[in-house]
Structure 1
Amino acid sequence: MSIEPRITMITLGVADVAAATAFYQRLGFRRSSASNDDVTFFHMNGTVLGLFGRDALAADAGREPTAPQGFEGTALAHNLGSREAVDAAWNFAVQCGAEPVKKPHEVFWGGYSGYFADPDGHLWELAHNPFMELDASGHMTLPD
């Protein structure tokens, strides 16, 4: 047996579902009608983003809830077609209330990227990778 290598949904544990939902809507994310007061689902290009109370998510996973401790060891990435698109998206996110973590700049691996954090500290990387093309749907294509 094997597990098919794909992600259908990413769920972020948040302190306040309504506040987090409002932030992502300001970014332009489209909320699904399947959402309710306890969980929000956003349509993504081929994936779903879920927002769920942090303590409720821990309980659902059978873990003890802990307070966020800065860097949690995960970043979500959104790749764009140019450096200018990265700058524009990063500036827009900050205008929408994101915490500016690392202003976009040239990076050691030859691309261009920056980071922002959502109101709960979840990191998002905005990047342009000149070595990985994006297909017509905006999905990154990897060489075999």
Structure 2
Amino acid sequence: MKPRLNIVTLGVSDLKRSRDFYRDALGWEPGQGSDNNIVFYGQGGIVFALYPLNDLAEDANLPPGRSGFPGVTLAINMDSKEAVDQLYRQITGNGGTPLVEPRETFWGGYDCYFADPDGHTWEIAWAPFWKFDEQGSLLLE
């Protein structure tokens, strides 16, 4: 079996609020199978899902409490610094919490950070050494 990341699910405290945030801030529309209990977004071969936090924790047999940095970030890679700036303004203008303003990075790229309504940490980045395929997926050459 080839290793493959297929689904990333975020536990959220208010599914409707999160669904509205991802629509308004990123323009993402729910995909097939979405309903009032779960939301799916197609992401070029990976499915991004939103699910109520308490239900997700119960499913994983873990307590639902969250605090501090969980050691995970999600990232959206763009094809230019200007695209990073534009998306950051769009997201923070639609309810995203600014964490780190757009900046030059020590690794030669450009990035910024925001949090969604549940505090999940996202990076928006441009890396001059990464390329995209025709579907917009990153190519690690």
Could you state the TM-score of these two structures normalised by the residue count of structure 1? 0.92
2:15 & 2:85 partners in 1: Cα distance?
Answer: 28
Does residue 12 (structure 1) correspond to residue 14 (structure 2)? The answer is no
CA deviation after TM superposition for structure 1 residue 119, in Å: 0.2
Q: What is the DSSP-based 3-state SS (H/G/I as helix, E as strand, rest coil) of the residue aligned with 2:138?
A: coil
Q: Which ranges in structure 1 are unaligned for 5 or more consecutive residues?
A: none
Runs of 4 or more above 3 Å deviation? none
Q: What is the DSSP-based 3-state SS (H/G/I as helix, E as strand, rest coil) of the residue aligned with 1:91?
A: helix
- The one-letter code matched in structure 2 to 1:118 is D
Does residue 48 (structure 1) correspond to residue 47 (structure 2)? The answer is yes
2:29 & 2:45 partners in 1: Cα distance?
Answer: 13
- The one-letter code matched in structure 2 to 1:126 is I
- Count of aligned positions: 140
CA deviation after TM superposition for structure 1 residue 110, in Å: 0.5
CA deviation after TM superposition for structure 1 residue 55, in Å: 0.9
Aligned residue in 2 for 1:79: 77
2:96 & 2:119 partners in 1: Cα distance?
Answer: 9
2:32 & 2:132 partners in 1: Cα distance?
Answer: 29
RMSD: 1.1
Q: What is the DSSP-based 3-state SS (H/G/I as helix, E as strand, rest coil) of the residue aligned with 1:101?
A: strand
1:33/1:132 CA distance change after superposition, 3 Å? closer
Q: Percent identity?
A: 41
Aligned residue in 1 for 2:34: 35
Could you state the TM-score of these two structures normalised by the residue count of structure 2? 0.94
Q: Which ranges in structure 2 are unaligned for 5 or more consecutive residues?
A: none
Cα deviation digits, residues 86-114 of structure 1 (max 9, x gap): 00011111111100110111000010000
CA deviation after TM superposition for structure 1 residue 5, in Å: 2.2
- The one-letter code matched in structure 1 to 2:60 is A
CA deviation after TM superposition for structure 1 residue 136, in Å: 1.8
Aligned residue in 1 for 2:89: 91
Cα deviation digits, residues 65-105 of structure 1 (max 9, x gap): 21x21311111111111000000011111111100110111
Aligned residue in 1 for 2:59: 60
Aligned residue in 2 for 1:113: 111
